[in-house]
Amino acid sequence: MALGDTYATVDDLKAYLSVTKDQNLDLFQEALQTASREVERHCDRQFNRVESASARVFWPKGCKVVTIDDFHSTEDFLIKTDLNASGSFNVTWPSTGYQLEPLNGVVDGEIGWPYFRIRALGKNAFPVFSDRASLQITAKWGWSTVPAPVKRATLVIASETFKLKDAPFGVSGYGEYGPVRIKNSPVAMRMLAPYRLNAVRVG
């Protein structure tokens, strides 16, 4: 799934709601879009993927370990740093100068996690005394596969959002009510709890 796609399909939502007829398809899609974006806001991360590498910049909080956005592949991965706060990332790190984590893609016993942390090795260090974002990462961003709990939580929120069409006073769409908030859904909150992360991307 590409960035911006929903974390479940219309057919998934129809099956979740035990709907067999092809009706209200636009409302199903709107509910899924609303739910997917709410999942991203709640977790402060997104779970789709891009196939081509692109550069993002970060502001390291520590000189040895930095948390960045999720990326699913080491192909075309590149670290550059700006040591003199010039805005020019002119130092390229060798692959021996860092370690990507979590190791083996495992977090709390669950496999399939992307990389989201970089540890500087040896004498290498991330520049932290700068008024500028001093770290540039080129990577293929996102998750290789949407986690099953994320998909399930999306369906929970999307189903509740979809049911707003039957609310009193004849609501057209969801704008008058806004999205169903995950904090109001204990089931969705439990499913998403392991995936909440505050990245430090600045651009």
Domain ranges of the chain: 10-47+146-195, 54-141
Residue 92's H or E segment, with its range, is: strand 91-92
Residue 173 has pLDDT above 50, yes or no: no
Q: Give the pLDDT band of residue 21 (cuts 50, 70, 90).
A: confident
Q: Are 72 and 98 in contact (CB under 8 A)?
A: no
- Alpha carbons within 13 angstroms on the beta-carbon side of residue 174 total 22
- Residue 66 to residue 68: CA distance in whole angstroms: 6
- The predicted model gives 37-46 an average pLDDT of 93
Nearest one of 203, 194, 200, 202 to 42, comparing CA atoms: 194
Q: Measured between alpha carbons, how far apart are the two ends of the chain, in Å?
A: 23
Residue 200 has pLDDT above 50, yes or no: no
Tell how strand 65-81 and strand 115-120 pair up: antiparallel
Q: Give the pLDDT band of residue 165 (cuts 50, 70, 90).
A: low
More confident position, 184 or 148: 148
Q: What is the pLDDT of residues 110-149, one digit of tens each?
A: 999 999 999 999 999 999 988 899 999 999 999 999 999 9
pLDDT at 171: 44
State pTM to two decimals. 0.84
Nearest one of 2, 116, 21 to 11, comparing CA atoms: 21
Output b/e per residue, 74-95; b: 16+ Cβ within 10 A.
Answer: eeebebbbbeeeeeebeeebee
Q: What is the mean pLDDT of the chain?
A: 89
Residue 170 has pLDDT above 50, yes or no: no
pLDDT at 3: 81
